Amino acid sequence: MSRALAQRQHQSVCEELQAFPLEPVLRAWAAAALWGGVSLWRSLMRLDLIDELQLSLFPYVAGEGTRLFDGVPKSYQLDLVSSTASSNGIVELQYRRHR
């Protein structure tokens, strides 16, 4: 699959997810674990639906990419709860939403 086709398909999925009314569904769940890309996380942060965020940082330099927190309101505060570094260079970060 060409990179351009993959990007168009990704954009289409992102647009469909943004059009889907996630907020009432997610607010009804007591707890949920979601995996997704930057677009999903930004949408959830803008809707203030994230209570805890766990990130795994891998020692890889891509040279370019999409920043996770671009476009998120500056008032969106996270408190670092824990950070764990492994011997292979992966760093696990756990944040909680500052309320």
Render pLDDT for 32-59 as a digit per residue (tens, 0 to 9): 677 777 888 888 887 787 888 888 888 8
pTM: 0.60
Q: Is 62 helix (H, G, I), strand (E, B) or coil?
A: coil
pLDDT (tens digit per residue) in 65-95: 777 777 777 778 889 999 999 999 999 999 9
- Rounded CA separation 68/40 (Å): 10
Long-range pairs for 69-76: beta carbons < 8 A, 24 or more residues apart: 69/45, 70/42, 71/42, 71/46, 72/42, 72/45, 72/46, 73/46, 76/45, 76/48
Nearest to 54 by CA among 80, 27, 29, 88: 80
pLDDT (tens digit per residue) in 20-30: 666 666 666 55
Instruction: Give me the CATH code for the 3-97 domain, please.
Output: 3.40.430.10
Chain centre to alpha carbon of residue 11: 16
